């Protein structure tokens, strides 16, 4: 599983650095190519000579090699890596990672890394339990990093509690599990729309809707985890994808979303139209705020927005898959089938607003997947993360 994988092993200044030697040996034994980056204080605990002898590569610690002036490119390293493992991760490095304090080669490379990042904290129990450490770990988690929780036991201070770096064998297992997860969408380019669109009336007002983008973002994350190269064209939302590889293109209006999608569609294998696109936009956007008049009520004339799914449906060529959503309040299945045909979709995901656990803002959804070939499949209420997987598996089956 790890054979041929490029792994950056980041080592920071904690007693548990001695365990990193064993971790390095195990990774090399599994056939991985390992580049060690050690922080300046990490070198107080373990010598670069040991690490370079085991990895077969010079250990990187500084931005430059002192005697030659050779620059170590954190950007190239970030792109080279299939995974980055920071073990041990001290409270200090975790805090720097959470805040983006790039004052050493390790944190700088972390900020440039496109690959998944695994963090194995190691510290004294009180440091581990401190609210700032907890919050920093939560922040790292929210950025999509994988935290390998420390174990409880006797610590270097002889105190007993949570803070022992996970054993090297178990860290290797976490990596193996990660890489062995099936990647059925590897090599596929995906375009996903998400969130609402805002149609400007004047500089402070718009026509919008209640979409939060949760479903589209969950699909983008799940698709990236299944190996796809994902572009997420998103209307205004307050969430971010968990997977760092997801390329987010932010737009505001339906017209901007349509342009962003048509520009990219030719180069797309699978497009999923999950956005709640406004059907109409004001015919005119005022450049200054509309004033409240005493007697007159302003009239806003609307014009039709482009139907993005239908536009892509007309451009679709054989081999491309186009998936739409239908949010219906009545005659759900019949309406969904009509949309499937009229927009030239290959599949439509139906969710009904009648269901209290489906629709805007909820963390759950209940869907029926209808394909152009005529099959219809009902799913029970599930979390949006699980629903995303169901939708993607149905696409893989197509
Ligand atoms: O026709 P209706 O809006 O119900 O269709 C919903 C589907 O069409 C969704 O997949 C939605 O993302 C897409 N859509 C679109 N552009 C529009 C309206 C809807 O892509 N202007």
The answer to whether the beta carbons of residues 19 and 42 sit under 8 Å apart is: no
Angle, alpha carbons 59-179-91 (nearest 5°): 50
98-104 LR contacts (CB < 8 Å, sep 24+) = 98/135, 98/136, 98/137, 98/139, 98/140, 99/136, 104/39, 104/40, 104/61
CA-proximal residue: ligand 1, atom 4 (nearest): 326
Query: Rounded to the nearest 10 degrees, what angle do helices 91-99 and 131-142 cross at?
Result: 50
For range 124-135, the mean pLDDT: 94
- Measured in Å, residue 275 CA sits from the centre of ligand 1 at 7
- The continuous run of DSSP H or E covering 36 comes out as strand 33-38
**What is the position in ligand 1's atom list of the atom closest to the CA of 323?**
10
Pocket residues: Cβ below 6 A from ligand 1: 193, 254, 273-275, 277, 279, 305, 307-309, 324-326, 339
pLDDT in tens, 73-122: 777 787 889 999 999 999 999 999 999 999 999 999 999 988 999 999 99
Measured in whole angstroms, how far is the alpha carbon of residue 1 from the centre of its chain?
A: 23
Euclidean distance between the first and final Cα of the chain, in Å?
Answer: 28
**Active-site residue, 209 included:** yes
Active-site annotation holder among 209, 247, 335, 344: 209
Q: Is residue 68 very low, low, confident or very high in pLDDT (cuts 50, 70, 90)?
A: low
Look at residues 380, 224, 251 and name the one whose alpha carbon lies nearest to residue 306. 251
CA-proximal residue: ligand 1, atom 21 (nearest): 307
pLDDT in tens, 5-56: 999 999 999 999 999 999 999 999 999 999 999 999 999 999 999 999 999 9
Question: How many other CB atoms sit within 10 Å of the CB of residue 17?
Answer: 24
Pick from 233, 277, 335, 342 the residue to mutate for probing ligand 1's pocket: most ligand atoms within 8 Å of its CB: 277
Q: How many CA atoms lie within 13 A of 369 on its CB side?
A: 20
**What pLDDT score was predicted for residue 151?**
86
- The continuous run of DSSP H or E covering 281 comes out as strand 280-282
């Amino acid at each position: 599983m790890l054979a041929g994988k490029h792994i950056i092993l980041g080592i920071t200044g904690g007693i548990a650095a001695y365990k990193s030697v064993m971790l390095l040996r195990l990774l090399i034994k599994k056939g991985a190519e390992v580049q060690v980056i050690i922080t300046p204080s990490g070198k107080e605990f373990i010598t670069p000579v040991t690490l370079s002898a085991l990895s077969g590569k010079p250990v990187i610690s500084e931005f430059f090699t002192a005697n030659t002036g050779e620059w170590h490119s954190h950007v190239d390293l970030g792109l080279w890596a299939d995974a980055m493992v920071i073990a041990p991760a001290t409270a200090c490095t975790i805090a720097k990672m959470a805040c983006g304090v790039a004052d050493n080669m390790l944190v700088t490379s972390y900020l440039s890394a496109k690959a998944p990042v695994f963090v194995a904290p190691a510290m004294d129990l009180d440091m581990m339990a401190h609210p700032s450490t907890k919050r920093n770990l939560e922040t790292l988690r929210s950025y999509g990093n994988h935290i390998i929780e420390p174990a409880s036991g006797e610590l270097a201070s002889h105190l007993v509690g949570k803070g022992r770096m996970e054993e090297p064998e178990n860290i290797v297992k976490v990596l193996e599990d990660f890489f062995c997860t099936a990647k059925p969408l590897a090599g596929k380019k995906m375009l996903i729309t998400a969130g609402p669109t805002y149609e400007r009336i004047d500089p402070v007002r718009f026509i919008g809707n209640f979409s939060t983008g949760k479903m589209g973002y969950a699909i983008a994350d799940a698709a990236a985890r299944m190996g796809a190269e994902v572009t997420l064209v998103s209307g205004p939302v307050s969430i971010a994808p968990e997977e760092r590889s997801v390329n987010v293109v932010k737009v505001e209006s339906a017209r901007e979303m349509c342009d962003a999608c048509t520009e990219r569609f030719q180069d797309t294998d699978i497009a999923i139209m999950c956005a709640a696109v406004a059907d109409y936009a004001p015919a005119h956007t005022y450049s200054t705020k509309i004033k409240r008049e005493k007697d007159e009520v302003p009239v806003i004339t609307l014009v039709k927005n482009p139907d993005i799914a239908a536009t892509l449906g007309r451009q679709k060529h054989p081999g491309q898959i186009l998936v739409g959503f239908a949010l219906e309040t009545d005659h759900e299945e019949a309406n969904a089938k009509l949309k499937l045909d009229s927009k030239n979709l290959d599949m439509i995901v139906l969710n009904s607003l009648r269901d209290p656990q489906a629709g805007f803002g909820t963390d759950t959804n209940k869907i029926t997947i209808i394909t152009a070939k005529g099959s219809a499949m009902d799913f029970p209420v599930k979390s949006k993360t699980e629903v995303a997987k169901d939708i993607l598996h149905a696409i893989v089956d197509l």
